């Protein structure tokens, strides 16, 4: 009877799925994995790699300097040498000229940044921060409170409290970052590059997963339907894999290039003008690097997705094997989206040179700060080498696995495929 056959199939499916090792392992590890991802993200958000920070607090009067130094010198991390803070008074007409004279210290390791407290800060609490890393929120959070206390104490000295003065006392100081680079011009830093960094990272993350998953499923479907056997009667397996990867990579690159057209128009023409706070501080060379890096990323990860598709002949088995590749994409993604707090922290710096992570972290870091050319070059060399290794290994796995059906290979068997010389 049809009903009995349905029950037999249902029982078999439930038994094979519920009692399989993959189901048990994934059921136990998925919650742990998700909790680990959230814990890792929170760690990145709270991680502060600013030990040894050297700051210069610049004022126009000795009176203000005395008030500020009194508050800052009382900080625990300053007393313990965690932060080194110097003070100076400038009578120069142009503060930018003073900053220009201190450029060698800022561009080197002698000075992390310069905090300028103008006299107008007593009425609007607007400060200026000059550094090669003008978006260092860690420094802003540490310095905001003591400077605010100093301004409040100086403002209310020998004055009767009024409602508007109380309102002022409750207002924190506000940093305005200025990017210091090898160019002569010193520009104010807004939120444009922070937004662009997140969008670039999200596009890269989303495209790698979407295109990679589509390629993997395509390989599995061709293998399961025996179409691949017909194809391999006329071409080599390596040619088939390379053609599929390059076709998907070129399609993805074209799609990304179209997405980047509005950015190129914004930074290279005056047709559209963004508000100053959202202006983009980048040039076309950064977009070209991003597209180049994106193409290398696609070829690298598509090689991994193709190899997984060649190992198995059904979606269930591929889903259990895809997680290592997914983590190679997801962990760098979380590092990149937390970088705006301090783009030059130790984790971001190291991840810029780690295989696979570099493909996602380095473009985001370059969008936020000026990265030395040798670091970009070294990162590119590492990425190319990783791409070649992945292509070689994936090709070995794909050539053997694509013709094997009916049995799920063990990881030991897959390792033996790497010795195949055909």
DSSP 353: T
Looking at the predicted structure, is the pLDDT value of residue 98 above 70?
yes
Give the largest CA-CA distance in the chain: 98
Question: CA 291, CA 243: separation in Å to the nearest integer?
Answer: 20
89: enclosing H helix or E strand = strand 83-89
pLDDT tens string 347-367: 888 989 999 999 999 998 888
Question: CA 232, CA 412: separation in Å to the nearest integer?
Answer: 26
Residue in the structure block whose two tokens are 């007593």: 122
Residue 306 or residue 237, greater confidence: 306
Mean local confidence (pLDDT), 262-289: 70
- Which residues 6+ apart lie within 8 Å of 406 measured at CB? 313
pLDDT tens string 99-139: 888 999 999 878 999 999 998 998 888 999 999 888 888 88
Inter-CA distances, 301 with 258, 306, 387, Å: 21, 9, 8
Going by pLDDT thresholds of 50, 70 and 90, the confidence category of residue 6 is very low
pLDDT tens string 214-228: 888 888 887 777 777
Residue in the structure block whose two tokens are 């080194």: 84
Give residue 206's pLDDT.
84
Residue in the structure block whose two tokens are 């980047």: 260
Pairing of β 113-117 and β 126-131 = antiparallel
Give residue 10's pLDDT.
44
Q: Which residue in 126, 286, 95 sits closest to 192, CA to CA?
A: 286
DSSP 278: G
Give residue 8's pLDDT.
46
Question: CA 126, CA 177: separation in Å to the nearest integer?
Answer: 11
> SS3 breakdown of the chain: % helix, strand, coil, rounded to 5?
65, 10, 25
Beta-bridge partner residues of 113: 55, 131
- Which residues 6+ apart lie within 8 Å of 153 measured at CB? 67, 71
The CATH classification number of 53-188 equals 3.40.50
Pairing of β 174-179 and β 126-131 = parallel
Going by pLDDT thresholds of 50, 70 and 90, the confidence category of residue 280 is low
Looking at the predicted structure, is the pLDDT value of residue 384 above 90?
yes
Residues in the chain: 422
Q: Which two three-digit tokens encode residue 133?
A: 């890393």
Mean local confidence (pLDDT), 39-61: 75
Q: State the virtual CA torsion across 292, 370, 49, 326 in degrees, nearest 10.
A: -10
If 0-12 CB within 10 Å is exposed, 13-18 middle and 19+ buried, where does residue 97 land? exposed
What b/e sequence results for 299-315 when a residue is b if at least 16 CB atoms lie within 10 Å of its CB, and e otherwise? bbbbbbbbbbbbbbbee
The answer to whether the CB of 102 falls within 8 A of the CB of 72 is no
Residues of the chain within CATH 3.40.50 domain(s) are 53-188
């Amino acid at each position: 009877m049809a009903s009995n056959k349905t029950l037999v199939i249902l029982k078999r499916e439930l038994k094979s799925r519920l009692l399989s090792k993959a189901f048990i392992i994934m059921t136990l590890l998925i919650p742990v994995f998700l909790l680990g991802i959230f814990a890792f993200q929170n760690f990145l958000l709270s991680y502060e790699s600013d030990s040894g920070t050297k700051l210069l607090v610049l004022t126009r009067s000795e009176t203000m300097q005395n008030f500020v130094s009194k508050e800052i010198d009382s900080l625990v991390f300053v007393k313990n040498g965690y932060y080194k803070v110097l003070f100076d008074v400038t009578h120069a007409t142009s503060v930018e000229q003073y900053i220009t004279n201190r450029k060698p210290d800022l561009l080197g390791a002698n000075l992390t940044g310069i905090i300028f407290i103008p006299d107008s800060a007593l009425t609007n609490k607007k400060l200026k921060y000059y550094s090669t890393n003008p978006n260092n929120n860690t420094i802003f959070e540490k310095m905001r409170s003591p400077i605010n206390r100093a301004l409040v104490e100086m403002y209310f000295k020998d004055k009767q409290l009024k409602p508007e003065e109380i309102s002022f006392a409750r207002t924190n100081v506000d940093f305005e970052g200025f990017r210091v680079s090898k160019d002569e011009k010193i520009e104010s830093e807004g939120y444009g590059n922070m937004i662009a960094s997140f969008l670039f990272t999200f596009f890269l993350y989303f495209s790698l997963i979407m295109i990679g998953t589509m390629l993997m499923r395509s390989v599995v479907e061709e293998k399961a339907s025996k179409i691949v056997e017909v194809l391999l009667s006329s071409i080599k397996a390596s040619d088939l894999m390379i053609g599929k990867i390059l076709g998907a990579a070129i399609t993805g690159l074209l799609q990304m290039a179209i997405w980047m057209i509005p950015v190129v128009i914004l930074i290279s023409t005056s047709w559209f003008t963004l508000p100053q706070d959202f202006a983009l501080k980048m040039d076309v060379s950064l977009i070209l690097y991003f597209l180049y890096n994106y193409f290398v990323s696609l070829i690298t990860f598509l090689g991994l997705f193709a190899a997984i598709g060649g190992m198995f002949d059904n979606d269930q088995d591929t889903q259990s094997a895809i997680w290592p590749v997914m983590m190679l994409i997801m962990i760098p993604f979380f590092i990149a989206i937390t970088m705006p707090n301090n783009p030059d922290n130790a984790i971001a710096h190291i991840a810029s040179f780690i295989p696979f992570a570099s493909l996602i972290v380095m473009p985001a870091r370059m969008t936020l700060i000026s990265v030395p050319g040798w670091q970009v070059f070294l990162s590119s060399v590492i990425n190319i080498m990783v791409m070649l290794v992945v292509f070689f290994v994936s090709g070995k796995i794909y050539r053997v696995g694509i013709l094997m059906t009916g049995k799920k290979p063990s990881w030991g068997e897959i390792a033996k495929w790497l010795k195949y010389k055909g």
